[in-house]
Amino acid sequence: MARVIAARRFDGLGLRHAPGWRILPLIVAAMTFLAALAIAGAQGAAELGRHWQQGAAATLTVQVPRPGTAPSPPVAAGETRRDRVAALLRGTPGIAAVRPLGDAELSDLLRPWLGSSAEQLALPLPAVIAVTVSGATGTVGGVDLAALAARLEATAPGTLVESHGIWVRRLALLADSLRLCALAALGLVAAVAGAVIVVATRAALASRRGVVETLHGLGATDFYVADRFARHACRAAALGGVAGLVLAVPVVVALTALAAPFVSPAPVEPGLPGWAELLATLPRLPPLLFWALPALPLSAAAIGYIAAQGAVRAWLRRLP
């Protein structure tokens, strides 16, 4: 074993002191840092998009017009059209909760558009009922919206059901676009890292040209020479990858802690998260980040090995 290690440590090309390698870990560290942020960004966009879609897809808004604004069947004494619609909704399978909005709540919703005197305008505002369905993400809980609308129309003509579908589609598109942008950034970072490694390898090759030609003349195979360069590039890239990851993890954890209130139903604490909250976030990192972030140094090492192998082999083809 010791002999094998000694053979592997034998630096026949003198690459330890070749120029180009020293700056490589710093550049790869920066690339790894950016890659970690891109992965976290893609994951965050996916989580936020999923959460927003769930929220939008799980709710319906039902508007019941005021009496007199539309023809209506007779209503029992003490019962309003809103109460009849709410009762029908509560009896519909797939609907988890039905909450008629009070006048004050409705005024609060309209205040941004109509001002503080909305209630004094004597507008025939419809009654609004917020409905929560119990379905899976992206559906409306198995509720047949067309059938429901027909039944509501029969009960209270002019009643509208809004399913928020357009917002669900737009949120999905936004989330997918953000994720694609983040993945494109990740690919770009990998390509730049590969290009930097090729440039560093060529610099090292230029400084060791005479040595490489001597080894070539002594019968060294292309693999022998390329493997020596690739191992050095691999080590330098792995070192940079680890350094970049060490720098990126606190940032990713902090961003995850800041984003947590937007993707979790847990109550939001006032103020910014402290160290304890940040540390508590660590085990709650999304599973994707748990394997994707540690894979970054490995990926950097692999890119280093492959890029250096390719660069050296291409250069060696000049020799017979």
Choices 91-99, 214-222, 228-236, 251-259; region in contact with another protein by CB under 8 A: 214-222
Provide the mask over 10-49, with x wherever binding to another protein is found by CB under 8 A and - wherever it is not: xxx-x--x--------------------------------
Nearest to another protein of 17, 111 (CB atom):
17
Applying CB under 8 A, among 224, 284, 290, 314 the residue interacting with another protein is 224
Nearest to another protein of 119, 213 (CB atom):
213
Nearest to another protein of 84, 232 (CB atom):
232
Question: Nearest approach, Cβ of 311 to another protein (angstroms)?
Answer: 16
DSSP for 19-87 reads: TTTTTHHHHHHHHHHHHHHHHHHHHHHHHHHHHHHHHHHTEEEEEEPPTTSS------TT--HHHHHHH
Applying CB under 8 A, among 214, 261, 262, 272 the residue interacting with another protein is 214
Q: Pick from 223, 227, 194, 225: which is nearest to 304 by CA?
A: 194
Question: Nearest approach, Cβ of 220 to another protein (angstroms)?
Answer: 5
Percent helix, percent strand, percent coil in the chain, to nearest 5 = 70, 5, 25
* β-sheet bridge partners, residue 100: 129
Residue 209 burial (C-beta neighbours within 10 Å; 0-12, 13-18, 19+): exposed
Question: Nearest approach, Cβ of 196 to another protein (angstroms)?
Answer: 25
Question: Nearest approach, Cβ of 202 to another protein (angstroms)?
Answer: 17
Rounded to whole angstroms, the Cα distance separating 150 from 170 reads 27
Q: Number of residues in contact with another protein, rule: CB under 8 A?
A: 24
Residues whose CB is less than 8 angstroms from the CB of residue 214 and which lie 6 or more positions away in sequence, other chains included: none
**Structure tokens, 272:** 């910014």
Nearest to another protein of 279, 319 (CB atom):
319
Q: Is 221 in the site for another protein (CB under 8 A)?
A: yes
Q: Is 210 in the site for another protein (CB under 8 A)?
A: yes
Provide the mask over 161-200, with x wherever binding to another protein is found by CB under 8 A and - wherever it is not: ----------------------------------------
**Structure tokens, 146:** 């067309």
Question: Nearest approach, Cβ of 310 to another protein (angstroms)?
Answer: 17
- Are 110 and 101 spatial neighbours (Cβ–Cβ below 8 Å)? no
One-letter amino acid for residue 223 of the chain: F
Q: Is 1 in the site for another protein (CB under 8 A)?
A: no
HSE-CB at 6 with a 13 A cutoff on CA atoms is: 3
Rounded to whole angstroms, the Cα distance separating 6 from 190 reads 33
Residues forming contacts to another protein in the complex (CB under 8 A) are 3-4, 6-7, 10-12, 14, 17, 210-211, 214-222, 224, 317-318, 320
